[in-house]
Amino acid sequence: MSRCGARSHVVAFGATKYTLRFAPDASGTVNGPVSRALHAGGGGAGATDAEATAVARGRGAGGAAAEAHADIAKRSPTRARLRLHTLIVVQRAQTVTRLRVLHRELAKCRKCPKMIGPVVHGPPVPSRVLLIGQAPGPHEGKLGRPFAWTAGKTLFRWLEETTGASESAVRECVYFAAVARCFPGKAKAGGDRRPDPEEIERCSSYLSREVALLEPDLVLAVGTLAIEQVLGEKLKLDEVVGGVRRARYHGRDVDVIALPHPSGASTWYKLEPGKSLLARALRAVRAHPAMRAALAPPR
């Protein structure tokens, strides 16, 4: 079945068979927010916000799902919702499997001679929220997870104070990636070396595949390098932190919320206007529908 082509799925409710028709939406993919599909279902489906949010945690079923849902919801809205939910669970499982394959490739990657392994990445979370940092520091490789040291403590504190979600909840609900997945070593002037353009380019092939698999709605770009890579331009933190921008990233239209790097190497976020802009950015993270859906309690 082609990822981008129209497809159909026959389901049986008792003795009656229905055909769910899935077709590409405007973005050319078959996955769109199911919460919209549920709300648009009509026919008395009447999905509640909680139901829509719970389903939206998973994979979408495309713009045509609304039409298919309307067809079947007239006769059995509960079964229609269950069927869509089942499809979503299956799609999530497929995404996890594909992310695991990608992670195995990543683990073996030795394309950059100056980089110091091991490769660091988060777990294969099928999330619509993608967090992109710069690169792991010297401790993350040993600990086997991104943002595992002091910068991570600050980042997770920011997120917990704003959203109420603990570090483990955020790690379970948000996909963690980075501009480069290996430790670049120390810079002569002190601090961690910034990945060079060739390294960024090589590692971007993994990000591109992750975007295709996850189809994120929200990208959290952490630090100036990640912000520059996601937005495609160099901007001062004062200009970019504090709001939500729209960007085309690896072929997908996404909302982008920029955050300063929490390493403490820069005091930008500790002084005004950085302090207030960071608070605004974190409020935008909390309010974003993709983040709210990602952090919604499971049903």
Shortest CB 183 distance to ligand SF4, Å: 9
Binding site for ligand SF4 (CB under 6 A): 106, 109-112, 115, 119, 180-182, 199, 202-203
Nearer to ligand SF4, 90 or 187 (CB): 187
Q: Give the separation between CA 43 and CA 26, rounded to whole angstroms.
A: 24
Structure-token pair, residue 90: 């299956």
Q: Give the separation between CA 21 and CA 159, rounded to whole angstroms.
A: 39
Shortest CB 119 distance to ligand SF4, Å: 5
Q: Give the separation between CA 97 and CA 124, rounded to whole angstroms.
A: 8
Shortest CB 144 distance to ligand SF4, Å: 14
Nearer to ligand SF4, 113 or 232 (CB): 113
Shortest CB 110 distance to ligand SF4, Å: 6
The alpha carbon of residue 164 and the mean position of all alpha carbons in its chain are separated, in whole angstroms, by 19
The CB density around residue 90, as the number of other CB atoms within 10 Å, is 12
DSSP 151: H
Residues present in the chain in total: 299
Query: What is the residue whose two structure tokens read 């060739």?
Result: 198
Nearer to ligand SF4, 180 or 240 (CB): 180
Nearer to ligand SF4, 83 or 181 (CB): 181
Nearer to ligand SF4, 68 or 200 (CB): 200
Decide if 65 contacts 249 (C-beta within 8 A): no
Q: Give the separation between CA 243 and CA 239, rounded to whole angstroms.
A: 9
Shortest CB 188 distance to ligand SF4, Å: 20
Nearer to ligand SF4, 59 or 181 (CB): 181
Q: Give the separation between CA 173 and CA 162, rounded to whole angstroms.
A: 15
Taking the CA atoms of 83, 86, 88 and 94 in sequence, report the sign of the dihedral they define: negative
Shortest CB 180 distance to ligand SF4, Å: 4
